[in-house]
Amino acid sequence: MDDEERTYTNGEITVIWQPKECNHSRICFEKATGLPEVFDPKARPWINMNGATTAKIIAQVNKCPTNALSYFFNSEDDRDDTMKETDREPVKETIVQVMRNGPLIIYGNIKIKDADGIETRKTTGTAFCRCGSSKTNPYCDGTHYEVGFKE
Ligand code: FES
């Protein structure tokens, strides 16, 4: 699969998937955390925009820890002000989640300082590498799949 951005629409919203940003956290399709009726990596296309309501799809897209998934309303008329745009509100409580055989995801409003003191702010979810193989340390880049990380 190439790294080209893909779009999927149900006529109301368009979901954008950026493969380069995806760290394969599995959050979008695992039964406990995801919406498998819409997100199924074994299906083609892997996003079925008819699998759930727009509100459910938006709620799931907003859980993406790396912003590989985002969306926009096709028309201002479709917009429901109770729904949040991809510019998400910061999570109020910081949550640290260990993904099986994958990254450590921190949900919340955090500031990351690199070794040179350069700061980056994250306000939604950030995936940190646990396998030690990421080429974008400290962030997960999905390499844990290639190296068969188990833990
Ligand atoms: S945990 Fe994902 S690249 Fe290391």
Q: Where are the domains of the chain?
A: 6-78, 95-147
Residue with tokens 């510019």: 87
* pLDDT tens, position by position, 105-140: 887 778 888 889 988 887 666 788 999 998 888 888
Q: What is the rounded distance in angstroms from the CA atom of residue 138 to the CA atom of residue 112?
A: 10
Q: Which of 54, 122, 43 is nearest to 84 (CA)?
A: 54
Q: What is the rounded distance in angstroms from the CA atom of residue 121 to the CA atom of residue 110?
A: 6
Our answer on whether the CB atom of 12 is closer than 6 Å to any ligand 1 atom is no
pLDDT, position 92: 65
Our answer on whether the CB atom of 65 is closer than 6 Å to any ligand 1 atom is no
Any alpha helices (H) in the chain, and if so which ranges? Answer: 54-61, 143-147
Is the domain 6-78 a CATH 3.15.10 member?
no
Local structure of 78: helix, strand or coil: helix
- Residue spans of the chain under pLDDT 50: 83-88, 90
pTM: 0.56
The best mutation among 100, 149, 150, 151 to test binding of ligand 1, ranked by most ligand atoms within 8 Å of the C-beta, falls on: 149
Our answer on whether the CB atom of 134 is closer than 6 Å to any ligand 1 atom is yes
Determine the atom of ligand 1 nearest the C-alpha atom of 143.
Answer: 3
Whether residue 45 is preceded by a cis peptide bond, meaning omega within 30 degrees of 0, is: yes
pLDDT, position 133: 94
Beta bridge partners of 14: 9, 72
Determine the atom of ligand 1 nearest the C-alpha atom of 128.
Answer: 1
